[in-house]
Amino acid sequence: MFAEPWVDRWVIPNPFIALLFGVLRTHGVELTDFSFNKDATSVGEHYLNISIRRLNAAVRIGLDTVTFIAANPAWEIAPQLANIFDQVSCSIRETLKTSPRWQETTLAFHVTPGAADFRANTAPLVNTSLHRADSVLIIDKSLRHEGAAFVRLQRKLPGDARFSDVAARIYEDEVSALHLLGIAGVP
């Protein structure tokens, strides 16, 4: 979240398209991967969406936020995602000549039962939320998978954090959550 919106930069031609097209083209992004959301009901809901199809990821640039999205990522591609997201973040910061006040990351996933009695292991944790100064862990019953748990991790980080730092912290949070759930074989 940036301290001030950059409404003065939200013009035609949009400065982020030319800037980020150059940065992302080497990652398979074409002009057809850039779009503006059509369902905005207010100025604050407008954003530029950039799809990074090779990685099932996207970047959304609003008037005072930048959202980096990775759908169903494997941890093996975390270094590649972090590198691309860092490139985009640095380019935006250079263009705006400012950094965000803070960053927030969210990881949400389902944990399905294995050989262990998953329902018995997780029963005391369902509908649980653990709040810390800079993070939240929520464990609930999965509505998508029978006998599974839904885990949501949120962490607030300094505005100058790099994505490699963000990925490392959220990975630590994921491992901690899996330990809480009694998942065997977690490092």
pLDDT (tens digit, 0 to 9) for every residue of the chain, 187 residues total?
666 776 666 667 778 898 999 999 999 999 999 999 888 898 888 899 999 999 999 999 988 889 999 888 887 888 899 899 999 999 998 888 888 888 899 999 888 876 655 566 666 766 778 888 899 988 887 788 777 788 899 999 998 888 888 888 988 999 988 888 877 777 7
How far is Cα 166 from Cα 120, in angstroms, rounded to an integer? 32
Q: How far apart are CA 121 and CA 180, in angstroms?
A: 9
H/E element holding 66?
strand 66-70
* Exposure class string for 29-56: b at 16+ Cβ within 10 A, else e: beeebbeeeeeeeeeeeebbebbbeebe
The predicted pLDDT at position 130 comes to 83
Q: 96, 18, 97: which is closest to 62 by C-alpha?
A: 96
DSSP assignment letter at 31 = G
pLDDT attached to residue 16: 87
pTM: 0.78
Residue-level pLDDT at 63: 86
Backbone Cα Rg of the chain: 19
pLDDT of residue 23: 92
How many secondary structure helices (H) and strands (E) does the chain include?
Answer: 4, 8
pLDDT computed for residue 28 by the predictor: 94
Query: What does the pLDDT read at residue 127?
Result: 72
